[in-house]
Amino acid sequence: MDRETSHFIASNLVYLFASPCILAYLLFAWDKHLAYYHRARVPEALLFLVSALFGAFGSLCAMIFFRHKTKHKSFLITIPLLAIIQVALIVVLKVYLLK
């Protein structure tokens, strides 16, 4: 990969990883809305899947903002851990691509 292409990818990584974060945030918000009105919920497996696919930061923001899924230890441990891993991976990719 030439230098210009890698620089273009590195400079646009934020946009690439923002989409799953927005989707995760909206899914958590929708699940909170459904929970409030005692309706059928978004499956937890789907919430974890979207979080694992680079949406953990959006999930974490939604958990804090909506105070949703904060009593579930699986979410309290997994989502912040995924967010840390994903941010570290983005930083490593950015540094590697900018060499």
Instruction: Give how many domains the chain has, as a whole number.
Output: 1
Handedness of CA 16, 18, 21, 25 (dihedral sign): negative
Alpha-carbon separation of residue 95 from 85, 88, 92 (angstroms) = 15, 11, 5
pLDDT tens, position by position, 62-75:
999 999 999 999 99
Q: Which two tokens stand for residue 15?
A: 């946009």
The closest of 75, 83, 68, 70 to 36, measured between CA atoms, is: 68
Contact 39, 69 (CB under 8 A): no
Q: What residues have CB less than 8 Å from 80, skipping those under 6 apart?
A: 56, 60
CA distance 66 to 64: 6
Amino acid 95: pLDDT? 81
pLDDT at 99: 66
Spatial distance between the Cα atoms of 95 and 36, rounded to a whole number of angstroms: 43
Residue 79's domain comprises 3-97
pLDDT digit string (tens) for 18-74? 899 999 999 999 999 999 999 999 999 999 999 999 999 999 999 999 999 999 999
CA distance 79 to 62: 11
